[in-house]
């Protein structure tokens, strides 16, 4: 296979992992993306062992797709973007992981999303997927809003929308709230069945209910429309706060992007541009910059030492 002749120094692995899934790409600075992989949850704050398993699995898939094997990962540098590494102890544990890569650099999923969306330049992102948050990086300053997790945070996210819907259904089934198209889509008549189904479920379970809320809203259900409007209002608030830093670009990314867009205020909606690259590329841009900066520092230090 021709690609096996690729100089090893030009190969990178880009990882984007969160509470639902982990994506990996193998990337060559001369040929671009060579292969990709997809595995399970990779939020090391929620489950460290599962996160490293998912990262390894997705990376292996991507490597195998282009004819590499496990030991070839040892020649590649990885940029690993993850939810949960905003907690300093989790970041340190992940940075000190004995990974299968030549070296790896860890950053938050938000930072990688922002770098990817704006090709490494300044900008801001609103993330609306299983979870929700905002992130901006402008003139060397960064701002994070939200990213607090479920059920206490992540307002406006797919999981939050799903939880609101379930709460509504249970009230309706107890005849303490209005019945609705939404209730018919989410649950049969017996609250016990719904309770058995939802109890103890993770955010990604609730996020999978969000499409039913969008459907109900499109069919005219006022309760579903209100839930989505509250989500849109919150995400707009996040957007306005990010715009106050004057980022050159604002991008909305995540699983509910297309369907939640109409619920944002026009002020925020009109500023939104498409992401240029996915977070996996953002993670690689970060790793490249970090290594270049370190090399530059070493050269400067060597120069100073010899000067």
Rounded least distance, CB 215 to a second copy, Å: 20
Q: Which residue number, 55 or 133, has a Cβ lying nearer to a second copy?
A: 133
Residues 6+ apart with CB under 8 A from 41: 17, 18, 19, 20, 21, 22, 47, 50, 51, 54, 204
155 belongs to the binding site for a second copy (CB under 8 A)? yes
* Stretch binding a second copy (CB under 8 A), from 61-69, 70-78, 118-126, 146-154: 146-154
Q: 81, 80, 75, 53: which is closest to 63 by C-alpha?
A: 75
Binder among 94, 217, 231, 238 for a second copy (CB under 8 A): 238
Q: Which residue number, 151 or 248, has a Cβ lying nearer to a second copy?
A: 151
192 belongs to the binding site for a second copy (CB under 8 A)? yes
**N-to-C CA span, the chain:** 47
Binder among 8, 9, 87, 300 for a second copy (CB under 8 A): 87
* Stretch binding a second copy (CB under 8 A), from 63-71, 114-122, 160-168, 262-270: 160-168
Task: Answer yes or no: are the C-beta atoms of 35 and 76 closer than 8 Å.
Answer: no
| CB atoms inside a 10 Å sphere around CB 246 | 11
| C-alpha of 50 from chain center | 17
119 belongs to the binding site for a second copy (CB under 8 A)? no
| CB atoms inside a 10 Å sphere around CB 299 | 10
Distance CA(21)–CA(23), nearest Å, equals: 7
Rounded least distance, CB 206 to a second copy, Å: 9
223 belongs to the binding site for a second copy (CB under 8 A)? no
DSSP strands (E only) in the chain: 11-17, 22-28, 32-39, 77-82, 103-108, 123-128, 132-138, 141-146, 250-253
User: In the window 17-46, what residues touch a second copy (CB under 8 A)?
Assistant: 45-46
Rounded least distance, CB 22 to a second copy, Å: 20
Six-digit token string for 250:
């604002």
Q: 237, 298, 292, 248: which is closest to 273 by C-alpha?
A: 248
Rounded least distance, CB 191 to a second copy, Å: 7
7 belongs to the binding site for a second copy (CB under 8 A)? no
265 belongs to the binding site for a second copy (CB under 8 A)? no
2 belongs to the binding site for a second copy (CB under 8 A)? no
Q: Which residues bind a second copy (CB under 8 A)?
A: 45-46, 86-87, 145-146, 148-149, 151-153, 155, 163, 166-167, 170-171, 174-176, 191-192, 195-196, 198-200, 234, 237-238, 241
């Amino acid at each position: 296979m021709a690609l096996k002749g690729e100089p090893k120094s030009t190969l990178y692995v880009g990882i984007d992992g969160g509470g639902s899934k982990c994506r990996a790409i193998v990337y060559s600075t001369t040929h671009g993306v060579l292969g990709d992989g997809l595995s399970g949850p990779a939020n090391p704050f929620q489950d460290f062992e599962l996160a490293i398993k998912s990262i390894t699995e997705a990376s292996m898939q991507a490597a195998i797709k282009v004819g590499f094997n496990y030991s070839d990962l040892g020649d590649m540098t990885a940029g690993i973007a993850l939810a949960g590494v905003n907690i300093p102890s989790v970041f340190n544990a992940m940075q000190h992981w004995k990974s299968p890569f030549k070296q790896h650099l860890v950053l938050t999923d938000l930072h990688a999303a922002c770098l990817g969306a704006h090709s490494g330049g300044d900008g801001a992102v609103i993330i609306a997927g299983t979870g929700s948050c905002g992130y901006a990086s402008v003139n060397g300053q960064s701002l994070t809003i939200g990213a607090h997790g479920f059920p206490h945070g992540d307002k406006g996210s797919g999981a939050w929308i799903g939880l609101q819907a379930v709460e509504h259904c249970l009230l309706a089934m107890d005849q303490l709230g209005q019945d609705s198209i939404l209730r018919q889509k989410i649950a049969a008549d017996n609250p016990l069945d719904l309770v058995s189904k939802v109890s103890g479920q993770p955010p990604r379970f609730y996020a999978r209910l969000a499409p039913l809320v969008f459907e109900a809203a499109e069919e005219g259900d006022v309760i579903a429309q209100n839930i989505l409007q509250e989500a849109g209002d919150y995400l707009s608030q996040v957007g306005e706060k990010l715009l106050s830093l004057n980022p050159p670009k604002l991008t909305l990314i995540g699983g509910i992007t297309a369907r939640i867009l109409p619920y944002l205020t026009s002020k925020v909606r009109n500023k939104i541009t498409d992401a240029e690259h996915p977070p996996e590329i953002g993670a690689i841009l970060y790793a490249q910059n970090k290594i270049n900066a370190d090399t530059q520092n070493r050269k400067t230090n060597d120069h100073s030492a010899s000067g």
